[in-house]
A and B are shown apart, each in its own frame.
Chain A
Amino acid sequence: MFVTDIRKDFYEKVLHKRVLVLVSFDVDAICACKILKALFHCDSVQYTLVPVAGKMDWERVFSEHAEQLEFVVMINCGATLDILETLQPEENVTFFVCDSHRPMDLVNVYNDTQVKLLMSPEESIPKYEDIFRDDESDDEDDIGNDSDGSEPNGKRRRFDEDVLERRMERRRKRREWDGHRHQLLFDYEEFSGYGQSAAMIMYDLAWKMSKDTNDLLWWAIVGLTDQLLSKKIDRETYVLEATELNRHVARHNHRGDEEEDSVSINSMRISFTSELQLALYRHWSLFESLRHSSYTACNLKLWTLKGFKKLHEFLADMGVPLSECKQKFSAMDMGLKDNVTDWLVTSARKFGLEQITLSSFHAQYGFKNKFCAFDVAYGVNALLESVETEKSQEGYFLEALDCLSRSNIDKLAHGLELSKRQFRATVNTVQSLLDMTQVISAGSFLYAFIQEGTPDTRYFARPNCLGMLARFTLEAYVKMSKNRKARTLPLVMTAPLNLETGTLLVVGIPPLPELEQSSKNFFGRAFEQAGKKTSSRILHDNFDSSVIEMKNEDRSKFFDALISLLT
């Protein structure tokens, strides 16, 4: 069931108890987790925090910690899975789920006792009466001799005519209800998608308890930004939510009429501005940033020679010398640095890059540290999905968790460096995919297989990164392709996951968002069915159903099935 008062029904319930917190591997979850942690620290709520990469981890960790536990909080995991059925908990365990994955499992929605959802109810959820029926009067004798292939009854009672009629009628109604239910379920579960950011829900809780601070607000901003960057939500939703957050920003950060020095330079200040969609430009050079941001790279077609020349033209139009552009941004000439953003926006319009700006937030603390939310989201994600072998994946999760604290700026800086490497690998891979025409159309969708061999491929053994590559590739392909239909096609991409076990990571993304519709992803079900039909060895471990793992050998038959399924 949905909680109505998040403070009373959730926070106050766990206030003096111990909690198990399960967090999934994405930036929004990490931000939500930081906010919740801060609240728990305030109130000395004891907890155990464990990162979970997928369903198997989720089940395993629960069973390991289940003894004596009464409260479990799940962040960005659990809403889409039947919690009670899968985990088989004791009767006294309560689950609080704060998950942006959709669609929510209906058993979770309608359970009255153990599962509490912290999200808001949605209209698309079918009504209770249409899906569930209280068990009774089903086991009446059948009218026929037998039912569904089982043996004939030994004894049969003879009923009155009108009774017979009533029974027939009931049966008919029951069949109708079943059919309707089947349709409802099918429609409801057909597409997977995302709802409100978990970090924002946690921030909302903090605000309701008057415990919100700038730090918490910043984390909520990063969480929301991550949703935008991984295209889990569309621009419109982002703008709405960002406006909401801006109210809080204004509240915490109003300058007033006094001089700016009244607030210490070391405290965090957040401001709401119009930000360029150039990834990491402040921590990189302008040139590199233009080359590696998907918006500019795709619109200028930078993998072609012509596009490259256009880029130079663009820079020339801006009036910034090439040498400056290739300089580290922070080392750029002061006069240029202040104005470059304005010049960029003006020139952008001439080159078809109208949407180069987007409203976003920056945070500043101290003299050195000025970060924009986009960059922080990229950095945290890069840390989270780091492919270095020094630590385990959980180890990197904890690094990512740490880097959001102000005292760990060096970790964030490292994250930004990793992010640059990710971007370079992405752009190189997109370039080679397009050069060697490895993006193939199967009629109803596009697909591309990343082959092992280059050192870049190891970055894509991570779901968020592979997803980013997929989106970049799709955008680039669509811009390149003369085929008008390409705009409407979704994309499936595979990359080698583990050479020892011979598995692949497979990601399916919906087509580029059109103006009105938000992107709906049907690959969760499609993958499931294709896998079943071909008895392929696939693993639906990720909480996002459009990400699966598969054995190398099964790839071709799986894709054949997928093609026939979707045409």
Chain B
Amino acid sequence: MFGEKVLELVQELQRSRDGTMLPFNEDGVRKVLEEMKALYDQNQADVVSTREEGQSGLFSGVQLRHTCLERNQRCLLAYLHNRLAIIRNMRWEFGSVLPADVKQNLSDQEFQWFTKYNKSLASYMRSLGTGGLDLTQDRKPPKSLYIEVRCLVDHGEFETEDGTIIVLKKNSQHFLQRSQCEHLIRQGVLEHILS
């Protein structure tokens, strides 16, 4: 049945919605392209024979094959597009260096695309303000200057910019300037509490 292979690709994508990046299914894409070529060739042959031999009964066949071709195209494009979208999200999540196991699963072109995207993003960020601005660090704008945080592990003493020393012990709560402790939140030492 035409279109089944490409459906498999799409289903594969659906299954990997939980965030894992499956390897680029070179084989599947190739098979689909082969199918498309086969369909296209057949259609060409039929068009030629219709024109030359004047057979009208082949039109439905051609139409059918054409529809299949369009379907294959659409699914393939969806497959490629969604994969790129995932890669792009990964840039925002993980930073400019991809984890090794993810890299393995990308096709060469995808990896090239990733590098180019990286470059574009970097040059854009550099152009903002003076000295550039790293947009990938804080995706949500802060709501307040001071936040309440809870300490999840015994981190010991922590010195803020103005010299005060705060003792971070497990299960203590603190109210301080967001800018002072953001990095600790990212590290997992502190947890932001929204009351």
A49 to B150, CA, bound (A): 9
The closest CB in chain B to the CB of A38 belongs to B195
- Choose the segment among B3-11, B61-69, B168-176 that binds chain A (4+ C-beta atoms closer than 8 Å): B168-176
Count of residues in B whose CB is under 8 Å from the partner chain: 20
The answer to the question of B166 belonging to the interface, with a C-beta cut-off of 8 Å to chain A, is yes
Report, as a range, how many residues of chain A touch the other chain.
20 to 34
**Top 3 A-B pairs ranked by shortest CB distance?**
A394-B171, A49-B173, A50-B172
- A67 engages B166 (CB within 8 Å): no
Q: Mark A29-72, 1 if CB is under 8 A from B, else 0.
A: 00000000110110011111111000000000000110110000
- B146 engages A41 (CB within 8 Å): yes
The answer to the question of A527 belonging to the interface, with a C-beta cut-off of 8 Å to chain B, is no
The answer to the question of B167 belonging to the interface, with a C-beta cut-off of 8 Å to chain A, is yes
The answer to the question of B165 belonging to the interface, with a C-beta cut-off of 8 Å to chain A, is yes
- A398 engages B173 (CB within 8 Å): yes
A48 to B167, CA, bound (A): 9
The closest CB in chain B to the CB of A43 belongs to B146
- Chosen A-B contacts, 26 in total, with CB atoms closer than 8 Å, are A18-B164, A38-B195, A40-B175, A41-B146, A41-B175, A46-B146, A46-B174, A46-B175, A46-B176, A46-B177, A47-B175, A48-B166, A49-B172, A49-B173, A49-B174, A50-B172, A64-B169, A67-B167, A68-B165, A392-B171, A395-B171, A397-B171, A398-B171, A398-B173, A405-B195, A407-B194
The answer to the question of A402 belonging to the interface, with a C-beta cut-off of 8 Å to chain B, is yes
A392 to B150, CA, bound (A): 14
Binding site for B on A (CB under 8 A): 18, 37-38, 40-41, 44-51, 64-65, 67-68, 392, 394-395, 397-398, 401-402, 405, 407
In the complex, chain A residues whose CB is within 8 Å of the CB of B193: 402
Q: Which of B145, B173, B174 contacts A44 (CB 8 A)?
A: B145
Additional A-B contacts beyond A37-B175, A48-B173 (11; CB < 8 A): A18-B164, A44-B145, A46-B176, A48-B167, A48-B174, A49-B174, A51-B171, A67-B165, A67-B167, A392-B171, A394-B170
The answer to the question of B148 belonging to the interface, with a C-beta cut-off of 8 Å to chain A, is yes
Given A40-B175, A68-B164, A407-B194: A398 in contact with B150 (beta carbons within 8 A): yes
A397 to B194, CA, bound (A): 16
Q: Mark B168-191, 1 if CB is under 8 A from A, else 0.
A: 011111111100000000000000
- A47 engages B167 (CB within 8 Å): no
In the complex, chain B residues whose CB is within 8 Å of the CB of A51: 171
- B194 engages A48 (CB within 8 Å): no
B193 to chain A, nearest CB (A): 7
Determine which residue in B150, B174, B195 has the highest number of CB atoms from chain A within 10 A of its CB, and name it: B195
- B173 engages A407 (CB within 8 Å): no
Binding site for A on B (CB under 8 A): 145-146, 148, 150, 164-167, 169-177, 193-195
- A47 engages B174 (CB within 8 Å): yes
- B195 engages A37 (CB within 8 Å): yes
B194 to chain A, nearest CB (A): 7
Q: Which of B146, B169, B177 contacts A50 (CB 8 A)?
A: B169
A395 to B177, CA, bound (A): 23
B168 to chain A, nearest CB (A): 9
A401 to B171, CA, bound (A): 12
Q: Which of B145, B170, B172 contacts A48 (CB 8 A)?
A: B172
In the complex, chain B residues whose CB is within 8 Å of the CB of A49: 172-175
The closest CB in chain A to the CB of B146 belongs to A44
Given A398-B173, A402-B193: A41 in contact with B148 (beta carbons within 8 A): yes
B188 to chain A, nearest CB (A): 16
In the complex, chain B residues whose CB is within 8 Å of the CB of A65: 167
The closest CB in chain B to the CB of A393 belongs to B171
- A45 engages B165 (CB within 8 Å): no
A47 to B172, CA, bound (A): 11
The closest CB in chain B to the CB of A34 belongs to B195
A44 to chain B, nearest CB (A): 5
Determine which residue in B146, B172, B174 has the highest number of CB atoms from chain A within 10 A of its CB, and name it: B172
A45 to B145, CA, bound (A): 11
In the complex, chain B residues whose CB is within 8 Å of the CB of A405: 195
A398 to B164, CA, bound (A): 25
The closest CB in chain B to the CB of A407 belongs to B194
B170 to chain A, nearest CB (A): 7
In the complex, chain A residues whose CB is within 8 Å of the CB of B145: 44
A402 to B191, CA, bound (A): 13
Determine which residue in B146, B148, B175, B176 has the highest number of CB atoms from chain A within 10 A of its CB, and name it: B175
The closest CB in chain B to the CB of A23 belongs to B173
In the complex, chain B residues whose CB is within 8 Å of the CB of A401: 173
The closest CB in chain A to the CB of B152 belongs to A395
A51 to B150, CA, bound (A): 12
